[in-house]
Amino acid sequence: CPLTIPGGTRQSPINIQWRDSVYDPFLKPLKISYDPTTCLHIWNNGYSFLVEFDDSTDKSIIVGGPLENQYRLKQFHFHWGAINDWGSEHTVDSKFYPAELHLVHWNAVDYPSFEDAVMEGNGLAVIGVFLKLGARHEGLQTLVDALPAVRHKDTVIEFDEFDPSCLIPSCPDYWTYAGSLTTPPLTESVTWIIKKKPIEVDEDQLEAFRTLLFTSDGEEERRMVDNFRPLQPLMNRTVRSSFQ
Ligand SMILES: CC#CCNS(=O)(=O)c1cc(S(N)(=O)=O)ccc1C(=O)O
Ligand SMILES: [Zn+2]
């Protein structure tokens, strides 16, 4: 099965069993500083829609948390379901959320390029934020309004002055564990930082995600939904929490 890699010992996503997570008092608060002028464009890559950033400088970085040094923001994207009962990649006590946001960062201190960092155990840091059904999210609406322009695979539009920290809950609590990319090359290079608190989005905003297509213009349309990887075995890993 192509979705499991032979010999994988730290694959993602996983179920986070709240009572099995271990509070680590040495975990620092995560410091997030993004510069909205580094935002470049939104594109549909046929798997999700992603917002990409200029990662040629240290203008948009995260530091602290479980991380040894700072990591540069490269892109963020989402995973979602066909209906609200599922869609997230990680689960909490086996509960799915309707969607999950991933902000992908890479270790430009130790590695010369993103492609190199992808192959290293401490190469990437991904912040995961759960989306739950509730009030309309004004910050997300800016993104939702741009989605019709990237409906088909391989379409891209310019997108600037967006600060993705508006999508991250202010509550500092998170879980963290050593994992992998959830899409090819599935490399075991990700320090996952999963925010405990979800953000709220409304039904129309989730439905807007579901209007996107896996397919290119001219192909038979296939709705972009259920773009999440199945849960992977925890194996010999402990999930740490930054909170008691
Ligand atoms: C070489 C290589 C690579 C992986 N790229 S990514 O880290 O931006 C990424 C990461 C993830 S995830 N779900 O592992 O954060 C999903 C999708 C992507 C992507 O290519 O768009
Ligand atoms: Zn992802």
141 CB near ligand 1 (under 6 Å): no
175 confidence band (pLDDT: 50, 70, 90): very high
Ligand 2 center to 125 CA (angstroms): 11
Counting other chains too, the contacts that 168-171 makes at CB distance below 8 Å and 24 or more residues apart are: 168/32, 168/103, 168/127, 168/129, 168/195, 168/199, 169/129, 169/195, 169/197, 169/198, 169/199, 171/195, 171/196, 171/197
7 confidence band (pLDDT: 50, 70, 90): confident
Task: Give pLDDT tens digits for 87-101.
Answer: 999 999 999 999 999
3-state secondary structure 24-75: CCCCCCEEEECCHHHEEEEEECCCCEEEEECCCCCCCEEEECCCCCCEEEEE
Ligand 2 center to 244 CA (angstroms): 27
160 CB near ligand 1 (under 6 Å): no
Shortest-distance atom of ligand 1 to CA 12: 14
Task: Give pLDDT tens digits for 147-156.
Answer: 999 999 999 9
Task: Give pLDDT tens digits for 137-173.
Answer: 999 999 999 999 999 999 999 999 999 999 999 999 9
Question: Is this structure's pTM higher than 0.95?
Answer: yes
181 CB near ligand 1 (under 6 Å): yes
Give the whole-angstrom CA distance, residue 210 versus residue 223: 7
Task: Give pLDDT tens digits for 64-86.
Answer: 999 999 999 999 999 999 999 99
Largest pairwise CA distance in the chain: 54
101 CB near ligand 1 (under 6 Å): no
Task: Give pLDDT tens digits for 176-233.
Answer: 999 999 999 999 999 999 999 999 999 999 999 999 999 999 999 999 999 999 999 9
